[in-house]
Structures are given as C-alpha cells and as structure tokens.
C-alpha cells in the first residue's frame, strides 16, 4: 500500500501497456480496477531484496519514480510474472522480446521440475553428483562437490541448457538450504547481497548437501494427519501469512479451521496436492492479538502488522499475520470458541 504500508491480496491483470489490479479475484462485480501501473518507461527489479525476509518480491519503478512492491506466493510464480512484465515493458523492442521468449521456453524449471526432485536425483547413488574428499580452509570435508561440478551435472542431466541457467538453479538450491557452502571461498561468496553472485561456478568453490536434504525420512517419520482430524466441519478458511519455526521467514498459507474435532491446518498454495503442510489441535490453545507498536519477542523479519499468536497446550507458539485488523478479529473470534 502507498499510504498505509501494509500488504493486501490483489488480483492482477497484465495488459500490453499496463498492469491492472482488482480487489476481488477475476475483478468480478467491480466496474473499474482498484489501481493501474503504466508500464511505459518502467524499470523492474527481480529479485528485490529491499524487504528483509520477503524474498519473493518484484519491484516496479514507474517513469514518475513511483515504487510498487509486489509479493508472489512462490519463486516460480515470481519469476514467471517478472518475465512477462519485462516482455510487456520492452514490447517496442522485438530483439529483446525474442530473447526473453527464448529464455522462457528453454528454462523448464518453472513448468515441471521441482528443487526437491533435483536434490533426489543428485543423491542417486548411480547417476547423482559425485561426492569427493576435499580440503577447505584447513579442514577436510568427506562428501563435497565443487561449484563447476554441480553446474556440469545440471546441464548434463538436462535441468538447464546453459551455464547461466545452471548457476541460477544452483543458487536456488543454496538459497533454499538444500545445499551449503563450505570452505573460505564459497562461504565468502554467500555474503553478497545479490543472489546471482552467491554461488560460484568454480572448481575451487566447495559445497555439500545441507543436513535437511541429506536426511532420508522413512514413511513412518513423515508428517501424518489422522483422518478424523481432517473430517471436521469447516468453520472458516482463507489466506494468512505465517512465520516459519526454523528459518523464521514469512510465507503465505491457506488456513482451514475445523470443528468437531477442533483443528487448524495450513496448506502450501503453490502445491497442487490437497494435503496440509502443518496443523494442530485447538484444544487447550490460547489465541490473542498482538499490538502493532513494536515487534514482539519471538517475531523476526519485517512485520507489517495485524499480528496474532496461537500458543498450543504443548507451548508451541505460532505467529500469524492477517491482511487487516478486521480479518484478524474474525479469525480470533472463530478460533476462541474451539479452544
């Protein structure tokens, strides 16, 4: 928002020379858009790193120096929107548009490849990336691979068609904590603010699998949800922003509140499977609004306000942001009778 610096869900429509946004999905029942961004003379920044813990931003600066910050629900969605908006901005330059379409058509990650799938292939004992012993900063690492080896592997396995695309993929694996830098050279590179410079396509830069991606979880250890807890009557559902427990970043989640039995589950809106990524019983929970003046203890990052907290009977704290005070109040009123 330009006046109140909060974040609101809007339905965007990209035209040849402008970006329109509506209050409701599809713009139904609205005689005119809520606003418009003229693309003539615009500059686009993606990824935009001006907001801490909001890595999925696109920044548009109009020729009148007005800044627009747009947050997407996933990295794939962000990159797809950025590519199409850039194409609209450069519509008067056929050569640039042709190059954008070539990149879009050749880079298949956005359509059918997930980072999880790439890591699974990397870990394959037969066709995966070769792990070797290496020295880095005086330490000996047992299972590492070099930056250039990963780039070569991504290209040879057809996850990328050029070294530029492979470096982009490798940077995403690093940023999403599937891999980690080891040794002085690669660790130093991770301190760059520009994500494109954090991964090194070099035979002396060392990397290894992060513990989270190395751990093979058995079916019994996977997050299981009892059928009974998902069979309750749906009382309320909608999109909210939740703080993660480990990385303390904020992500959009679709929350579903059920009664009989009383549970609150949340789903990843970027995944097609209708399976919760988390949830908990509301029995014995405490729910309360958090004041907007100051950041409460336990909350990290750039908080936009409209916060509320749920504490489970096992003393697990969930921090959630609504898009408005009214929406926050509605969720709290709906949850309280079920605790």
Distance, CA of 101 to chain centre: 24
255: domain CATH number?
2.30.29.30
Predicted confidence at residue 96, as pLDDT, reads 54
DSSP letter (8 states) at residue 36: E
Q: For 46, list phi and psi in degrees, rounded to 5.
A: -150, 120
Domain range for 281 is 227-336
CB 202 within 8 A of CB 221: no
> How confident is residue 20, by pLDDT bands cut at 50, 70 and 90?
very high
Predicted confidence at residue 100, as pLDDT, reads 52
Q: Are 194 and 95 within one domain?
A: no
Q: Among 175, 196, 216, identify where a domain stops.
A: 216
- Helix (H) or strand (E) run with residue 200 in it: none
CB 7 within 8 A of CB 71: yes
Q: Could you tell me if residue 3 is inside a domain?
A: no
pLDDT, tens digit (0-9, with 9 covering 90-100), for 45-61: 876 767 756 767 888 99
> How confident is residue 294, by pLDDT bands cut at 50, 70 and 90?
low
Assigned token pair, 173: 């694996």
Average pLDDT over residues 66-79: 83
> Residue 197: CB partners within 8 Å, gap ≥ 6?
189
Q: Are 231 and 316 within one domain?
A: yes
Q: Could you tell me if residue 4 is inside a domain?
A: no
Q: Which residues, in sequence order, are bridge partners of residue 57?
A: 71
Q: Could you tell me if residue 2 is inside a domain?
A: no
CB 207 within 8 A of CB 166: no
Q: Are 151 and 250 within one domain?
A: no
Q: Is 307 helix (H, G, I), strand (E, B) or coil?
A: strand
Q: Are 241 and 201 within one domain?
A: no
Q: Among 75, 105, 135, identify where a domain stops.
A: 105
Q: Are 77 and 140 within one domain?
A: no
Residues in the chain: 339
Q: What is the mean pLDDT of the chain?
A: 79
Q: For 98, list phi and psi in degrees, rounded to 5.
A: -60, -40
Q: Are 80 and 123 within one domain?
A: no
Predicted confidence at residue 54, as pLDDT, reads 74
Q: What share of residues in the chain are helix, strand, coil (percent, to 5)?
A: 30, 25, 45
Does 31 score more than 70 pLDDT? yes
Q: Among 71, 105, 139, identify where a domain stops.
A: 105
Q: Could you tell me if residue 309 is inside a domain?
A: yes
Q: Could you tell me if residue 260 is inside a domain?
A: yes
Q: Could you tell me if residue 134 is inside a domain?
A: yes
């Amino acid at each position: 928002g330009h006046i109140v610096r909060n974040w609101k869900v809007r339905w965007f429509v990209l035209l040849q020379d402008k970006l329109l946004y509506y209050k409701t999905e599809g713009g139904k029942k609205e005689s005119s858009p809520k606003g418009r961004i003229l693309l003539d003379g615009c500059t686009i920044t993606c990824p935009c790193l001006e907001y801490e813990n909001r890595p999925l931003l696109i920044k548009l600066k109009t020729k009148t120096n007005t800044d627009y910050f747009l947050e997407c629900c996933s990295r794939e969605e962000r990159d797809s929107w950025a590519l199409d908006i850039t194409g609209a901005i450069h519509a008067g330059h056929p050569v640039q548009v042709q190059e954008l379409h070539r990149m879009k058509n050749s880079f298949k990650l956005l359509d059918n490849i997930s980072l999880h799938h790439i890591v699974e292939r990397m870990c394959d004992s037969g066709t995966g990336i070769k792990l070797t012993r290496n020295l880095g900063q005086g330490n000996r690492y047992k299972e590492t691979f070099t930056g250039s080896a990963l780039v070569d592997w991504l290209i040879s396995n057809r996850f990328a068609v050029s070294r530029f695309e492979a470096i982009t993929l490798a940077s995403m694996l690093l940023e999403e904590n599937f891999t980690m830098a080891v040794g002085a050279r690669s660790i130093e590179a991770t301190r760059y603010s520009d994500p494109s410079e954090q991964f090194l396509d070099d035979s002396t830069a060392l990397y290894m699998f992060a513990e989270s991606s190395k751990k093979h979880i058995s079916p019994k250890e996977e997050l299981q949800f009892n059928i009974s807890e998902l069979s309750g009557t749906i009382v309320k559902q909608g999109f909210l922003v939740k703080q993660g427990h480990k990385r303390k970043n904020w992500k959009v989640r679709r929350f579903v509140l059920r009664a009989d039995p009383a549970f609150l589950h949340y789903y990843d809106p970027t995944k097609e499977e209708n399976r919760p990524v988390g949830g908990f019983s509301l029995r014995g929970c405490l729910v309360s609004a958090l004041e907007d003046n100051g950041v409460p203890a336990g909350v990290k990052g750039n908080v936009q306000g409209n916060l509320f907290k749920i504490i489970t009977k096992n003393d697990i704290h969930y921090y959630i942001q609504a898009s408005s005070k009214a929406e926050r109040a509605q969720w709290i009123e709906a949850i309280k009778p079920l605790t």
